[in-house]
Amino acid sequence: MQLASPNLDVLSSFMTFLPSLIQLLTTYWKLILASFVIWSVIVFLRRGKQSKEYSSLLAPPVGSSPSHQASLNGSDGIPPMYHRSYSQISDRPTSTKLSSQDQEDLNVTISQKQDARVKQPYEAFLVLDVEATCQEGAGFEWPNEIIEWPVCLMRWKDKSNLGKACQLEIVDEFRSFVKPTWRPQLSQFCTELTGITQAQVNSAPNFQKVLKMFARFLARHGLIDPKSGRPIQRFCWCSDGPFDVRDFVVKQCFISKAPMPPWLKGDVLDVRRVVSVWAVASGNPETMAKQLEALGLPAFQGRLHSGIDDTRNIARVMTELARRGVRLEPNTSINTNRRWNWMGKPGEVLEHTLMF
Ligand code: AMP
Ligand code: MG
Ligand code: MG
């Protein structure tokens, strides 16, 4: 019995078609050769174009500074992940294999090629971080009185006619200590926390006087009308957390029996909240140190809980958020009529409600 061999079958079929194949090749060899040459040229040109696109993205532009090169390497302190929201990496060809580091570099470079300027609705920002009297363990429901009023005035350096900007800088500062009136004696805890001494508050003006001095500062900078106190430019209060205007100022106005000036009733931006949304990967950056770290900025500068130093560091965070193209606008509502348990008649603190 003869066994069928599939290999022999294929070979015999091939031998049958071989003469026809040779005839075809000899007849159309010019056409086949020309098609091959055209295909090779197309493949060569496409490869060249792709590698040029990648090299222009990976290499620094001609004449670029070492800092630019450093930022490509992620060594400018800005974790590349923060640039992701700007990247258009999905539009890029993916046929060539890139390492994950190359991919990160691409993200960074593409983001740098874009104009980070976004439309910014505010003309100026008043960064404020008050310090106040406090007792260890008393918490924040207590009648804290403001003892330091430090403000950094920030303005755009590069605002276009369309209102786009990304460079925010401090243009002036205001700082005054404030004399407390309900409990004029600072606790040791308060002095240790804030670095503010009894002598500094003893010789300071009271809150109403500081408000007047500060209103003159605002008027001098064209932010408010000197007579009515109404804002004449769009400015926004900025603080670390919602507490400064929402709680400390409202409490202080009650204790001082001072109506809240129109320029203090304005818009409030909680900078910490913006950072926590922006730097999702870093969790909730509750301290200034964590916020700076989350944004890849150098460590806190100065003394923590010194009002002016806290304010300047918040301003650094603002500058960085602006640089990254974050639209800076209010995110905190203020209730000027908010009442605490210890509040009696205007200016009156109900001592019996307090444990400290
Ligand atoms: P800060 O802006 O974090 O420096 O705090 C503002 C004010 O909050 C301080 O001047 C204190 O009055 C109060 N404060 C901050 N931390 C504490 C604390 N641990 N205990 C009591 N009060 C505090
Ligand atoms: Mg603060
Ligand atoms: Mg502070």
**pTM exceeding the 0.85 threshold for the entire prediction:** no
Q: Is 134 in the pocket of ligand 1 (CB under 6 A)?
A: yes
Residues facing residue 149 across a β-bridge: 176
Average pLDDT of the chain to the nearest whole number: 81
Mind listing the pLDDT tens digit of every residue in the chain (356 residues)?
A: 344 454 566 677 777 777 887 887 888 888 888 888 888 887 777 654 443 333 332 222 222 333 333 222 222 222 222 222 222 222 222 233 444 544 454 444 444 445 679 999 999 999 999 999 999 999 999 999 999 999 999 999 999 999 999 999 999 999 999 999 999 999 999 999 999 999 999 999 999 999 999 999 999 999 999 999 999 999 999 999 999 999 999 999 999 999 999 999 989 999 999 999 877 766 778 899 999 999 999 999 999 999 999 999 999 999 999 999 999 999 999 999 999 999 999 999 999 999 88
Residue 125's closest CA among 287, 324, 260, 267? 267
Residue 201's closest CA among 224, 225, 182? 182
Q: Is 129 in the pocket of ligand 1 (CB under 6 A)?
A: yes
Residues flanking ion ligand 2, Cβ below 5 Å: 129, 240
Q: Is 313 in the pocket of ligand 1 (CB under 6 A)?
A: no
DSSP assignment string, 4-52: P-HHHHHHHHHHHHHHHHHHHHHHHHHHHHHHHHHHHHHHHHHHHHHHH
- Closest-CA residue, ligand 1 atom 19, reads 136
Decide which of 3.30.420.10, 3.30.1330.200, 3.30.450.20, 3.30.930.10 is the CATH code for 118-340: 3.30.420.10
Residue 177's closest CA among 143, 200, 154, 145? 200
**Which of 127, 131, 238, 356 best tests ligand 1's pocket when mutated (most atoms within 8 Å of CB)?**
131
Residues facing residue 113 across a β-bridge: none
**Which of 305, 313, 356 best tests ligand 1's pocket when mutated (most atoms within 8 Å of CB)?**
305
Cα(29) to centroid of ligand 2, in Å?
Answer: 83
| Ligand showing the shortest atom-to-Cα distance for residue 194 | 1
Atom of ligand 1 nearest to the CA of 194: 10
**Which of 193, 243, 314 best tests ligand 1's pocket when mutated (most atoms within 8 Å of CB)?**
193
